[in-house]
Amino acid sequence: MTFDKAPERVVLLKSAAVPYLRDLGVLNRVTARAGRYPAEYYDAATLAELAKIPLLTDKTDTSGHLQISKEVVISQQPDLVLGEVDNLSRDTLSAVDIPLLEEPVLCPDSTAIPSFDGIYAQLETYGRVFGRQAEATAAIAALRERMTTIQSSVGTPSGRTAAILYPTVGGGVTYAYGNTSMAHPQLAAAGFTNVFGDSTTRVFEVTLEELLGRDPDVIILLHGDGDPAAVAGALTGLPGADKLTAVRDGAVMTQLFNFTEPASPLSVDGLERIVARFRTGA
């Protein structure tokens, strides 16, 4: 995809790009947004900038997918849309000469393997798109410095195992993340071994029986929004879950989804939270 000039009218359909745009100083080029932007993700300055951007809708279906019409997006006259949703693909928008960019791992049929190096590469990509290469270089240097600090605090791998899961609140499927998700390098950077690291599937359904068989020492539960206690209860309330080592030891942590997936500067924030929570072996 090519750009004749840096975009000036950006519409956000997902929150994933926000930390990149913030680090490049181009959030003021976002003229409209849709979806949900949990306050916990952002510092006060970023929240203030987001508050100035009109919200088109935050309506989602039962699976958390954004519900927005093509006409609403087109009416904003964007020169770039960030984030693909079910009824607004790149092909749909390119038919009306509106370019769309998506995070690599979320692209259809993507073969990208998420990593912290991938975050730096995506910063470079956005830097080129917005003509902010110098800002991208500075942001990458700052992230690398944070990663060095984190790795120093983690030290050698702990030998403990872990799993990152996405439970369904109110009953239903529990999902786990394999070695083609950002969960895998995030757990490794925190000094853990991913019990689902043998799976090349990014995210997949798991049963409690399989969890008991792999029995991770630590469990991190991702969620989109809502009450973290309800998210934890979606796992710990399952019959037999009290036999899991992580549940028995109180080593279960809830974390908002974008602190892990997709790969972004928020994944570094999420890593810091994981390390702070489990550094002492709790």
Q: What is the pLDDT of residue 282?
A: 40
Verify cis geometry, omega within 30 degrees of 0, for the bond prior to 262: yes
CA-to-CA distance for 278 and 102, rounded, in angstroms? 32
SS3 sequence, the chain?
Answer: CCCCCCCCCEEECCCCCHHHHHHHCCHHHEEEECCCCCHHHCCHHHHHHHHCCCECCCCECCCCCECCCHHHHHCCCCCEEECCECCECHHHHHCCCCCEECCHHHCCCCCCCCCHHHHHHHHHHHHHHCCCHHHHHHHHHHHHHHHHHHHHHHCCCCCCEEEEEEECCCCCCEEEECCCCCHHHHHHHCCCEECCCCCCCCEEEECHHHHHHHCCCEEEEEECCCCHHHHHHHHHCCCCHHHCHHHHCCCEEEEEHHHCCCCCHHHHHHHHHHHHHHCCCC
Q: What is the pLDDT of residue 224?
A: 85
CA-to-CA distance for 213 and 198, rounded, in angstroms? 14
Q: What is the pLDDT of residue 172?
A: 84
Per-run averaged pLDDT (10 residues), the chain, 282 residues:
94 95 97 94 97 94 79 96 89 92 83 91 97 98 98 92 94 93 97 97 95 98 90 95 97 96 95 90 42
Q: What is the pLDDT of residue 281?
A: 44
Query: Nearest Cα to 257, choosing from 231, 219, 221?
Result: 221
Q: What is the pLDDT of residue 110?
A: 76
pTM: 0.92
The structural domains of the chain, ordered by start, are 1-102 (3.40.50.1980), 148-278 (3.40.50.1980)
